[in-house]
Amino acid sequence: MSEFMLPQDIERLFDEPPAQYSEEHNRLFREFKEAVNRGKVRAAEPDAASPTGWRVNAWVKKGILLGFRMGVIVDMSIDLARQPFIDKSTYPVRAITSADSIRIVPGGSSIRDGSYIGRGVVCMPPMFVNVGAYVGDGTMIDSHALVGSCAQIGRNCHISAGSQIGGVLEPVGAMPVIIEDEVLVGGNSGVYEGTIVKHRAVVGTGSILNRSIPVYDLVRDAVYTAGETSPLIIPAEAIVVPGSRAVTHPVGRKHGLSLQCAVIVKYRDAKTDSRIQLEDLLR
């Protein structure tokens, strides 16, 4: 089966499920999953013609969902008594060798099969990469960080300790979270609901970005929010930190309440670069 025919065959199998899956169907899914592992197909990919710079590949999400539909629950434990691992047969832990040039530091990390991990990626324990995710070359995923299903992370990023990059698997047409090249996501931050963080931006420690939280740009005197059909987009090289905004409702004013927001306080400069540069010695 050629990769040219893969989208049509996956779409057909997803939209017209058989009474029983045959070996041919399983072979098709294995070929699809291997293409995802190699980064040949992605749940979302750059698209210069799109207003966001990205497009969703719904057929890839359908292929991932097929795996859950086709798989059966099996015991994959190395030692059932000490460390049980029971999941769908179609999604074991991803096979990685030293030839892949990926560092997985001991301590309880997990990368699910059906995800792309680029060369030079560093995985600090414990962290988790879910199915459909794409992690570009040279990125560091720090301790207790989560890369959700279908999330797309670029090259030379730093996903700091305790941060969460949300995934969007369903609906199949929805944009997953996008973290472009050379982005720093600070510790205990969360990026959710299809937010796009453009290249070289910095998401400060504890920031939350989603469709409901406005982002106030102090430099450009602008407010960024998600539209009905468009995602929240953080501009390239923006420095985003947590903020709050006053509640204008009378009860809110009475009690001095405020709501969460995010604030762009500046854009990257030489001083910023020197403060957040990743040490090559760690790699």
pLDDT digits (tens, 9 = 90+) for 28-72: 999 999 999 999 999 999 999 999 999 999 999 999 999 999 999
Confidence at residue 198, expressed as pLDDT on a 0 to 100 scale: 98
Q: What does the pLDDT look like over 171-193, one tens digit per residue? A: 899 999 999 999 999 999 999 99
Q: Is 245 a residue whose pLDDT tops 70?
A: yes
Q: Quick check: 219 pLDDT over 70?
A: yes
What integer is the mean pLDDT of 218-238? Answer: 97
Whether the predicted model's global pTM rises above the 0.85 cut: yes
Q: Is 278 exposed, middle or buried (0-12, 13-18, 19+ CB in 10 A)?
A: middle
- Sequence length of the chain is 283
pLDDT at 272: 74
pLDDT > 90 in the chain, percent? 88
How confident is residue 279, by pLDDT bands cut at 50, 70 and 90?
low
Rounded distance between C-alpha atoms, residue 178 and residue 195, angstroms: 6
- Distance (Å, whole) CA 183 – CA 250: 40
What's the pLDDT score for residue 283? 61
Percent helix, strand and coil across the chain, each to the nearest 5: 20, 25, 55
Q: Under a CB-based contact definition with an 8 Å cutoff, are residues 249 and 280 in contact?
A: no
Burial of residue 140, with CB atoms counted within 10 A of its CB: 0-12 exposed, 13-18 middle, 19 or more buried: buried
pLDDT confidence band for 148 (50 / 70 / 90): very high
Report whether pLDDT(206) > 60.
Answer: yes
Q: Report all structural domains of the chain as residue ranges with CATH numbers, in order of start.
A: 1-75+89-197 (2.160.10.10)
Mean pLDDT on 239-260: 96
- For the segment 77-122, what is each residue's pLDDT rounded down to a tens digit? 988 888 899 999 999 999 999 999 999 999 989 999 999 999 999 9
Residue 212's contacts (CB-CB under 8 Å, 6 or more residues apart) are 226
Evaluate whether 7 touches 32 at the Cβ level (below 8 Å).
Answer: no
- Nearest residue to 265 via CA among 227, 226, 237, 229: 237
Q: What is the mean pLDDT of residues 9-25?
A: 97
SS3 for 113-158 is CCCEECCCCEECCCCEECCCCEECCCCEECCCCEECCCCEECCCCE
Q: Is the per-residue pLDDT at 281 higher than 60?
A: no
The predicted pLDDT at position 274 comes to 72
CB 243 within 8 A of CB 262: yes
**ω into 126 cis (within 30 of 0):** yes
Angle between helices 23-37 and 6-15 (to 10 degrees): 130
Tokens coding 259: 């709501």
Q: 281 to each of 6, 112, 138, how far by Cα in Å? A: 41, 28, 13
For residue 4, name the pLDDT band (cuts at 50, 70, 90). low
Whole-number percent of the chain with pLDDT over 70: 96
The pLDDT, as a whole number, for residue 234 is 98
- The pLDDT score that the predictor gives to residue 89 is 96
Burial class (CB in 10 A: 0-12, 13-18, 19+), 221: exposed
Q: Please name which of 62, 82, 64, 80 lies closest in space to residue 16, comparing C-alpha atoms.
A: 62
Tokens of 222: 């602008």
